Each structure stands twice: as structure tokens, then as C-alpha cells.
Amino acid sequence: MNFIRQINPAHTPPHISRLGELATWRERILQTTLLLFALAGTVIYYLAIQRAIQYQDRTSIYLYTGALLVALALPLLRKLSFNLRTLAILVVLYGLAVQNLVVYGVTRNAVAYVLAIVFIAGLLWGVRAGVFAILFTFATVVGMGYGMNYGGMNQPLQETLLNSMSFENWVNVAIHFSIVGGFILLSIYTILNGLQSSLLQQRTLTMQLNAARLNLEKNVEERTTTLKRRLNQIRTAAEIARAVNTFLDPETLLQQSVDLIQKEFDLYYAGIFLVDERGEFAVLKAGTGEAGRQMIAAGHKLAVGGNSMIGWATARKEPKIALDTGVEAVRFNNPYLPLTRSEMALPIISRGVCLGALTIQSTQPEAFDQDDIRILMGIADSLATALENARLFQETQQNLEEIRALNRAYLMQSWEDAVAMHGKLEYTYQNPSAIQDGKASNQIHIPLTLRDQAIGNLTLELGDKSLTPEEMEFVDGVINQTAIALENARLIQETQRRAMEEQRLSEMTAQFSRANTVDQILKAALLEIGHLPNVAEVSVQLIPPVEDQMEEVEG
């Protein structure tokens, strides 16, 4: 298989393939020519040897034998250079042509060898080599004819002399094979030129196709990279929006937000400004890196509507973008961030009110496009919602704490009033079935709690053993239910007391409506007030208004 592959013209050695399509085609033509030369050479050798033996021409025998060996070896020697193998076959053909001319004169064999030289030289080496072959063989034939007729060269064998005795015949033959060789060379030129043009056109088309393919692949890769970047940004924006809505503390919310934005978008710096209560300054509340910490510590702030991108964005409630900070007029040159080349200021707006602005900065010029702006504006809107949620949560927590404080104060006051009304409320129970061995060795104090407010205390005196977890759980349940029941009882008593007071007020109002004089009204009022348990004596005295008070009333 290796032998067949080695001599196969379709198989081109790598050192030839690297030279291009034309060299590949010439290598295939040469290998095909060598195979045909070897095959034809075997047949020609058989015929020529018989003829040489017939005429006892040892020189021809040696020459044809050497030519056959060369013809058989050349298809196998593909490691030899193209030019060396071409030269070898041309030399063999030229030797056979000269031998035939010398021995047999102007014969068809000699003409065939000469034409083969022209054909192979033009086909493998080009038109110039073909023209040189025509001139060289023409000179050889004419020179040998002149030498045989006028120069003393040996004449061909008498049996094959034919027309070789006339110099004109030699010239005529030379002219004829030169003309035929010219036509052959012209055909070869046309074929090679067409082949070369086709190969050049094919190469040009291939290069154009490769360039188009590379350009298409580049465009697809760029589009794919852009789409991946956009998808990653959208996913990042969604993650940031989801993450910021989990933070209810404003400081944590802002700092976590800028850290996420700076990390996920590979930014130089990200910060958040909030407008103060007066609406005069945008104060930095969160920033990334050491620069952010230093600016926050220094109380960094920018005037709303001032000569800065943050001031511009907070005043107009519109994003401000600087793709080249070197030529941006409305910008604060921050000494903490000297490497900034692109910057965006995005307002944080909630319900039409500008809460602040998000600053985005990059070390690359023209680092942002419209897609970046839309995505980051979405993040700014998410921040506005998260800030509003955090504010509402803080207000709710504060209101709840105030309600709890009021509830605790109300419970404390209510039970203080209940204790004051009923006296000291204390109850003790001794278990008669318990074994009494003197004093208890263990006491447990459990507060009686109602809505996080202690309203009493439960004391358990135990023996040597402690309560089991089940018993302790039962005690807790009893205490909780007791606290609720006590509160319900207190509320019922208070409701009843208020109902009685309302009833007495209603009765007193009825008495006032039946009274006809001032004395009757005052006596009825004093009588009702004097019925209170803690009132020992009550009196009332009417006095005329003071002059200053009258003037105030009149005024």
C-alpha cells in the first residue's frame, strides 16, 4: 500500500504541497509523465534492443538499458527535487534523440524524442524552457546534419540512411519539428496559462471565502460575546435587584449594592449619593474600595445642581454620561479617583422624587453604551424601590416600637391602678400531699408576663428534685394562660366601671336638666362627686371672671 501511495500522482509530498496549487499540479503532471515514461520506456526498450542487436549496435544497447533504468527509478525517487527529476528525463530523451540521429539519421523515432523534449520542457518548466528546448534541439539537428554532410561526421547506417544524405532534408526536418514543437508549446502555454489563471482565481476566491468566513466568524463571535455580555448583565441586574430587596437596613443596602455592581460589572468605582433633607447636597453614603471609605469618612458631598455629574443628575432627574472625562465640562474632578476615564451618574427616583444618584466609573474610555445605560438605570430604579421599602420598614419598626412602649406603659399603669384599687394581690397554695421535710431546698421564680410586660411573679418552692422538662412546659403554659385570663378579667372590670361611670354621668345629666336653679345644679354635682370612695369632702365656689380674661375672650 505504501508503494502504491508513493507512486500515486494524486498523492503529493508535503514539501511540494506547501509551494501552492500550481506546484502541486506540476508535481502531479511530472509523476504521471514519469509513470508513462517508465511504461512506454519498457516497450520502447524491447523494440530498440531487438533493432540494436540486429545491427550489432552495442552503444544503443547500453544507452537504452541505462535509459530504462532511469525511467523505472524516477517515479520512486519523489524525494528528489522537481527540477532534478525533470532534468533527468530531459537528459535521457535528449540522449536517445542524439543516438537515433547519429545511428539511424532523421527517423520518426528521433523526431518523436525531440518533440517529447519540447513538450515536457514546456509543460513542466514553462514556456521559456519550451522555447529554449526548441532552439536547442533545432541547433542540434541542424548541426548534426551539417556535420554529417560537410563536417566529416560518420554517416548513419546505410540500411537506415533514408534521406539523411541531404543537408536540406536535415534542415527541413528541423523546421518541421520546430513548427510542430511551436504548436505544442503554444498549446501547453494556453493550457498552463488557463490552469494558472484558474488556480489564481480559485486561490483568490478561496482567500475571499476564507476572509468572508473569518469575518463572519468574527462577527458571530462578537455578536455572541455581546449577547453573552448582555445576558450576563441582565442576569446580574436581576440578581442585584433581588439581593438589594433582601436588605432592610439602609446602610447595609447601599454598601452591598455598590459592592455587587462594582464586582459584577467589573468597574473601577461605584458609589451612591443621597440627597439631604434640605435638598441642597447629595451626600455620599456608600462607595467601593479604599477611595469610597476615605470619601465617606471625609463627609464627601456635592451640591444639587452644581458643576458635577451627580449635581446635574439629581437636579434634572436625568442620567448624565461622560464617555471621555477629559472633555466633559460638567464634571467634578475627584482627587480620590484619578484613573476615571468614563463616568455615569444615574438618578435614583421614587414616586417622582429624586432620592439621590448612582455613580458608575471605569478606567476605559467609551466604556458604556445604551444597553449598559438601560440595564444600570434598571438597577437604579431597583435601588429606589429598595430604599423606599427600607424607609417604610424603618418607619414601621419605629411605629411598632412606639406602640409597644405605649402598650407597656398602658399595662403598667392599668395594673398599678388595679393593685391600688384591690390592694396587694397575692395568693399562696400549699400542696397537702407533698412531703414536708422542713424548708424547701429549691425555689423557682417565674415572671408573669403579658405582652412583654411583667405584671406579677410566680414562686415555686420545691424539694430536692427539680421540675422535669414536661412539668416546666406545663407551668409555662399555665402562666401564659393565667396572664391572659387576668388581663381579660381586668378589662371586664374596667369596662364595667366605665359603664357605671357613663350611667352615673347620664343620670347626672338628667338631674341637671330637671334642676331650675344654680344651687340645685351645684348640689347635684357635688353629691355625685362626693360618692367617690377616696373623696372625704368636696366644695365648689363661683367667682367672677378676671378683667384680663374678659378682654381676651372679647378680643
Closest CA to 76 of 129, 120, 35: 35
Q: Which residue has the cell 414536708?
A: 436
* C-alpha cell recorded at residue 357: 444618584
Give the separation between CA 194 and CA 200, rounded to whole angstroms.
10
Quick: pLDDT tens for 130-157.
Answer: 788 888 888 887 887 777 777 666 666 5
Which pLDDT score is estimated for 379?
A: 85
450 with 478: CB under 8 angstroms?
no
pLDDT at 554: 44
- What is residue 191's predicted lDDT score, i.e. its pLDDT? 65
Phi-psi region of 505 (alpha: psi -120 to 50; beta: other; left: phi over 0): alpha
Residues forming beta bridges with residue 444, ordered by sequence position: 460
Contact 136, 118 (CB under 8 A): no
| Residue 537 DSSP SS3 | coil
The closest alpha carbon to 371, from 321, 446, 328, 418, belongs to 321
Total-model pTM? 0.47
* Residue-level pLDDT at 546: 61
pLDDT at 78: 74
C-alpha grid cell, residue 517? 336653679
Three-state SS at 340: coil
What are the backbone angles phi and psi of residue 427, rounded to the nearest 5°? Answer: -135, 140
Q: How many CB atoms within 10 Å of residue 147?
A: 15
Helices assigned H by DSSP within 247-335: 250-264, 289-297, 309-316
Contact 341, 269 (CB under 8 A): no
Distance CA 130, CA 186 (A): 9
Q: Quote the pLDDT of residue 547.
A: 60
pLDDT at 552: 46
The answer to whether 38 touches 72, Cβ cutoff 8 Å, is yes
Contacts 24+ apart (CB under 8 A), 88-95: 89/33, 89/34, 89/37, 89/120, 90/117, 90/120, 90/121, 90/133, 92/67, 93/117, 93/120, 94/137, 94/140, 95/63, 95/67
Alpha-carbon distance of 478 to 314, in angstroms, equals 60
Q: How far is CA 416 from the centre of its chain?
A: 68
Phi, psi of 503 (to 5 degrees): -65, -45
Q: How far apart are CA 205 and CA 29, in angstroms?
A: 24
Say how many Å lie between the first and final Cα of the chain, rounded: 130
CA distance 23 to 354: 75
Cα four-point dihedral sign 346, 348, 352, 353 = negative
| Cell output for 431 | 400542696
Query: Which among 473, 449, 446 is positioned nearest to 459, based on CA atoms?
Result: 446
Low-confidence ranges of the chain (pLDDT < 70): 1-2, 5-6, 9-10, 15, 17-22, 55, 106-108, 151-196, 199, 329-330, 418-424, 432-441, 463-464, 533-534, 545-555
- Cβ neighbours, 10 Å, residue 354: 21
Is residue 267 within 8 A of residue 278, CB to CB? The reply is: no
Reported as a single tens digit per residue, the pLDDT across 257-287 is 889 888 888 889 999 999 998 889 999 999 9
107: phi then psi, degrees, rounded to nearest 5: -115, 170
